[in-house]
């Protein structure tokens, strides 16, 4: 959902967008098919999925065998078990490689500092440090061409992200959030991702088009 | 060769070392088998190879179909065609994930700023920026545990790297450098990597154990 709204923000600036998804052995791999549909619906110039071998490194409920927590009352306290080590750093590194090959000046990422305060790699100071590193890492940076990491959602609450997406014409029926779906297109409704999403739609006063159980 | 000497430096400090190699579709994939042998010979605690899907992103003679340049008179002028976009950033990102899972405090990388001056991601200022970003990216950093990117070879000429390796007992007969080998264990002798290696051994006054043609 956040990636979809971030892409819509980039398209609203009139940018040609090369979308990049990651297959990192996540349980919720159906998000990759959703990403392809969303990229098409929003008019991305291309969409690629990079295979990422994080499973060899281990360390998270999202890629390992641990249970995904359900019905948690206190999302956002401490670093959750679903934290994937260095995930955004790995994702942004691949995006940096693609940006260099495509000659892109902006890398958009849908990170959000508020709802997921437990993830260190969603904070503005992390993003600023990555951007500084990226400018030193690449031919583009060495040659003085601009390179920015853009985070249009970083300061928004989930309800604000949903409102912005609706303004920009995002079809949230195409998106996928659940960490542990019951079946293709059938979110569990109870994992952290589902709880945050449902609370966001409620706060935005909008209807979530996805079919939750019960 | 540089990775082998960097590993020997870490082992010389008495550290338990978890070696990480990358299969990124490089032409010279036999370096992965060499890495496994070197890690064993130097007593690494583990050795893993992560598959990296850089081929999907493209942009380099090392992963694409362009000719590897041979017999170049002026290695190190400008950014070479064998540059892989954001390669060290991608590699260090995976190493950061592994360090976080293993609880490691140091990431060693055999980058060298002198011989390969054309690669922006081999410079000390790049490494310093990555380290700063890494400390903001991870649980370890947030919780105040140390995390350092260690580059014991960064200021050494190739001959100095070879001398240090010989002092530390590295068997260079196990290493692989060639970008475009004739056959397994048969370096071409003429690509940039071979030329730099051979020049390094000559300047160090040592014999390279590898069998070059002619």
pLDDT of the residue at A155: 93
pLDDT of the residue at A202: 97
The pair of three-digit structure tokens given for residue A58, joined into one six-digit string: 């281990």
Residue A83 near residue A55 (C-beta atoms within 8 A): no
pLDDT of the residue at A55: 64
Report the top-level CATH class of A2-204: alpha beta
Q: Which residues of B touch A51 (CB under 8 A)?
A: 51, 53, 56
For A132, which DSSP code? H
Spell A130-156 as b/e; 16+ CB within 10 A means b.
Answer: bbbbbbbbbbbbbeeeebebbbbbbeb
pLDDT of the residue at A62: 47
pLDDT of the residue at B133: 97
Span B109-131, average pLDDT: 86
Angstroms from B128 CA to nearest CA on chain A: 8
Give the closest of A53, A101, A141 to B51, CB-based. Answer: A53
Q: Where along chain A do its domains lie?
A: 2-204
Q: Which residues of B touch A119 (CB under 8 A)?
A: none
Range name among A38-42, A97-101, A190-194, B28-32 with the lowest pLDDT average? B28-32
Cβ of B96 and A83 within 8 Å? Answer: no
The pair of three-digit structure tokens given for residue B96, joined into one six-digit string: 């950061």
Helices and strands (H, E) in chain B, number of each type:
7, 4
Residue A85 CB neighbour total at 10 angstroms: 25
The pair of three-digit structure tokens given for residue A95, joined into one six-digit string: 């995006």
**Which residue out of B137, B138, B139, B140 would a mutagenesis test of the A interface target, given it has the greatest number of A Cβ atoms within 10 Å?**
B137
Give the closest of B53, B85, B100 to A51, CB-based. Answer: B53
Q: Does residue A56 sit in helix, strand or coil?
A: helix
pLDDT of the residue at A198: 96
Q: Is the pLDDT of residue B61 over 50?
A: no
Span A89-108, average pLDDT: 93
Cβ of B51 and A54 within 8 Å? Answer: no
Q: Which residue of A has its CA nearest to B18?
A: A57
Q: Which residue of B has its CA nearest to A88?
A: B137
The Cβ-side half-sphere exposure at A200, using a 13 Å CA radius, reads: 27
pLDDT of the residue at B73: 59
Residue B123 CB neighbour total at 10 angstroms: 18
Cβ of B101 and A53 within 8 Å? Answer: no
**Which residue out of B24, B51, B88, B94 would a mutagenesis test of the A interface target, given it has the greatest number of A Cβ atoms within 10 Å?**
B94
For chain A, give the longest Cα–Cα distance: 57
Q: Is the pLDDT of residue B60 over 60?
A: no
For A123, which DSSP code? S
Q: Which residues of B touch A21 (CB under 8 A)?
A: none
pLDDT of the residue at B205: 97
What whole-number distance in Å separates Cα of residue A16 and Cα of residue B26? Answer: 30
Cβ of B85 and A96 within 8 Å? Answer: yes
Q: Does residue A98 sit in helix, strand or coil?
A: helix
What whole-number distance in Å separates Cα of residue A89 and Cα of residue B91? Answer: 11
Please, which residues 78-117 of chain B have a Cβ atom closer than 8 Å to chain A?
79, 83-90, 92-94, 96-98, 100-101
Residue B42 near residue B11 (C-beta atoms within 8 A): yes
Please enumerate in sequence order all residues whose Cβ is within 8 A of that of A140, keeping only pairs 6 or more positions apart, or say none.
A99, A100, A103, A105, A146, A147
pTM: 0.88
A29 in contact with chain B, both atoms CB, cutoff 8 A: no
What is the interface pTM, i.e. ipTM, of the complex? 0.86
Give the closest of A53, A132, A134 to B50, CB-based. Answer: A53
What whole-number distance in Å separates Cα of residue B54 and Cα of residue B25? Answer: 7
Question: Mean pLDDT, chain A, as a whole number?
Answer: 86
Angstroms from A169 CA to nearest CA on chain B: 29
The torsion defined by the Cα of B116, B122, B123 and B124, in degrees rounded to 10, comes to -130
pLDDT of the residue at A68: 57
Residue B133 near residue A89 (C-beta atoms within 8 A): yes
pLDDT in tens, A12-66: 999 999 999 988 777 667 889 999 999 999 999 999 998 887 766 765 544 545 5
């Amino acid at each position: 959902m956040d990636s979809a709204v971030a892409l819509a923000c980039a398209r609203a600036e009139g940018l040609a967008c090369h979308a990049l998804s990651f297959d990192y052995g996540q349980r919720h791999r159906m998000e990759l098919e959703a990403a392809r549909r969303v990229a098409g619906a929003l008019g991305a110039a291309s969409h690629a999925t990079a295979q990422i071998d994080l499973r060899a490194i281990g360390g998270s409920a999202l890629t390992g065998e641990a249970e995904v927590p359900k019905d948690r009352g206190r999302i956002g306290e401490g670093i959750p078990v679903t934290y994937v080590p260095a995930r955004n750093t790995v994702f942004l590194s691949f995006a940096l490689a693609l940006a260099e090959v495509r000659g892109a000046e902006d890398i958009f990422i849908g990170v959000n500092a508020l709802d997921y305060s437990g993830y260190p790699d969603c904070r503005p100071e992390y993003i600023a440090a990555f951007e500084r590193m990226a400018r030193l890492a690449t031919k583009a940076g060495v040659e003085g061409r601009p390179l920015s990491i853009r985070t249009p959602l970083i300061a928004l609450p989930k309800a604000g992200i949903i409102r912005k997406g609706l303004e920009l014409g995002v079809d949230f029926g195409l998106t996928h959030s659940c960490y542990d779906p019951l079946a293709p297109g059938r979110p569990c409704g109870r994992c952290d991702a589902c709880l945050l999403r449902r609370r966001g739609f409620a706060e935005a006063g909008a209807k979530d088009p996805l079919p939750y159980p019960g």
